[in-house]
Structure 1
Amino acid sequence: MTVTRTVSATLINMTVVDHQTKHYELVKDTADYIVIDKRPGVNLHRNNTKQSLVDILNADFPGESLHLVHRLDDATSGLLVLAKNPVAAAEFGALFANREVEKYYLAVADGKPGKKQGAVVGDIKKSRSGSYLLSRTRSNPSLTQFFSYSLGEGRRAYLLKPYTGKTHQLRVVMKSLGVPIFGDRRYGPTIQDSDRMYLHATALRFTFRGEEREYISLPKEGQLFADGGLAAALLDCQTPWALPWPSLN
């Protein structure tokens, strides 16, 4: 099987990317889809704003029929795939629905977690506040594996692998571990001196039309992501699928 691997500009080995705007960086442009690295704080949909990232991308790729095939929270940065036609969108929809797309995220949090690596399984339910919480029930559970790395001074980096795509899944999981993501004002302290929410979609791997595709883009924005203590986590992020991930049982 042919493997296509794309590594975007990283903190470890910076490279020049030709197509870059203040909203996103183009990682890969193929005949059937594009992969971008979304900046933190950029909204996918208009919501209460006049322009969304989708609007910007449609303007940047005239003549294409772009389709979102998965989503990131506005505060989250990182890799996002958009199909260029309905056929490709349907194929990606099936890949995500069948959990055939591997997704990896990098996060930073303060505090000591309940466990330093492992798996978190449980239903995610909506609370009265409009946020979500992790339940002990498992009728339709979220599934997440993680490793953590000490950064010193009570701070850790987390490499997260979600198997499911529930709303706010990783943010809820981190809160359930007792370490909400730094800068997450919904699930952590409402007042934090943070320049962003420290959650980044760093890698994707999937097979599309018989070819294995790998995309990696390490975080480029945020003072904590520039911390030298992140070296071990960033190295693992370059080939996250090769790690001995904890069992989900």
Structure 2
Amino acid sequence: MTLPVVFESNEFVVLDKPDGLSFHSEQQPGLVVLAERQLNQTLYPVHRLDKMTSGLVIMAKTDQVARQFQQMFEQRLIEKYYLAISTHKPKKKQGWVKGDMVASRRGSWRLSVGMMNPAITQFISLASQPGERFFLVKPHTGKTHQIRVALKSLGAPIAGDIRYQLVADAMQEERGYLHAFALRFSLNNHQFEFVLAPSSGQRFLANSTFLTAQRWAEPWMHF
């Protein structure tokens, strides 16, 4: 498998992660191993995407740059934007989802009313194909399964999400419809902006969905 390289410098590389590829190696080589083989060098992941999620991933080329990125993530200096599709109508069409993440069964999470260390997610949405809702999501924190749980809490689980959608419904989908769409940050006095449309999944590739994504081509303008 050849991974699409979106951007590469002496400091870091931005890759387009395919959906269905594990970040770390399981039975098969994961994203990190494949990227290191392809680029023939050690890479330092500074954030991760779930197996079902496609899209933009940053990997540093040195430990020093990795530490810079990690500090930037901790200080919320890196803006992240995601696209998602649900086949359910959300309780609200835009706004915020806030609450503590509580461990549930078998590696799942749920949203609670507590606010001790809340996951904070901002979103807007539009009607897309018949029976679909198309979301542009900006997570302000970086919790495990944060967006997946946030949309589930709105009554609109992500299509194809076997963990948070009804399994019978999720199994009908060719992929989980969550995509890391855009990144924006400043590193060493240089401003970087990356926007990448999804390249797989019939629901993502549908004409009306792509037209909506083009409307969101500068997602930071909508929040």
Question: After TM superposition, is the score higher than 0.5?
Answer: yes
Q: Distance in 2 between matches of 1:56 and 1:65?
A: 11
1:106 aligns with 2:86: no
Structure 1 residue corresponding to 2:31, chosen from 53, 69, 84: 53
Alpha-carbon distance between aligned partners in 1 of 2:106 and 2:15, rounded to the nearest angstrom: 33
Instruction: Specify the alignment match of 1:36 in structure 2.
Output: 15
**Cα shift readout 1:57-88 (whole Å, capped 9, x = no counterpart):** 111112x3210000000110000000000111
Give the structure 1 partner of residue 209 of structure 2: 230
* Paired AA for residue 132 in structure 1: W
**Residue 199 of structure 1 aligns to which amino acid in structure 2?**
L
Deviation, structure 1 residue 154? 2.2
Give a deviation string over 1:27-51, Cα, whole Å, max 9, x none: 001010000010000111113x141
Instruction: Tell me if 1:194 matches 2:164.
Output: no
**Contact map agreement 2:204 2:210 (CA 8 A) in 1:** no
Hey, what does 1:12 align to over in structure 2? none
Q: CA deviation at 1:153?
A: 2.3
Instruction: State the 1:152 CA deviation.
Output: 4.0
1:159 Cα deviation after fit = 0.3
Letter in 2 for 1:107: A
| Residue number in structure 2 paired with 1:11 | none
Query: Which is further off, 123-132 or 230-239?
Result: 230-239
Match of residue 134 from structure 1: 111
Could you tell me the TM-score, scaled by structure 2's length? 0.96
CA distance in 2, matches of 1:26, 1:218: 14
Q: What is the distance in 2 between the residues matched to 1:179 and 1:39?
A: 23
- Higher RCO (CA-CA < 8 Å; seq separation 6+): 1
Alpha-carbon deviation of 1:233? 2.7
Distance 2:56 2:5 in 1: 10
Quote the Cα distance in structure 2 between the aligned partners of 1:69 and 1:132: 22
Cα deviation, 1:81-108, whole Å, max 9, x if unaligned, reads 0000011101101110101000000000
Q: Given the alignment, which residue of 53, 68, 72 partners 1:76?
A: 53
Q: Which AA in structure 2 matches 1:33?
A: F
Contact 2:99 2:119 in 1 (8 A): yes
Structure 1 unaligned spans of 5+: 1-20
What is the root-mean-square deviation in Å for CA atoms of aligned residues?
1.2
Distance of 1:135 and 1:105 partners within structure 2: 23
1:183 matched to 2:160? The reply is yes
**Aligned residues with identical type, % of pairs:** 41
Instruction: Structure 2: give runs of 5+ residues left out of the alignment.
Output: none
SS of the equivalent of 1:95 reads helix
Instruction: Write the deviation string for residues 150-194 of structure 1: whole angstroms up to 9, x where unpaired.
Output: 014221100000010100000000100001000001000112311
Aligned to 1:89, the other structure's residue is in SS state: helix
Do structure 1's residue 147 and structure 2's residue 124 form an aligned pair? yes
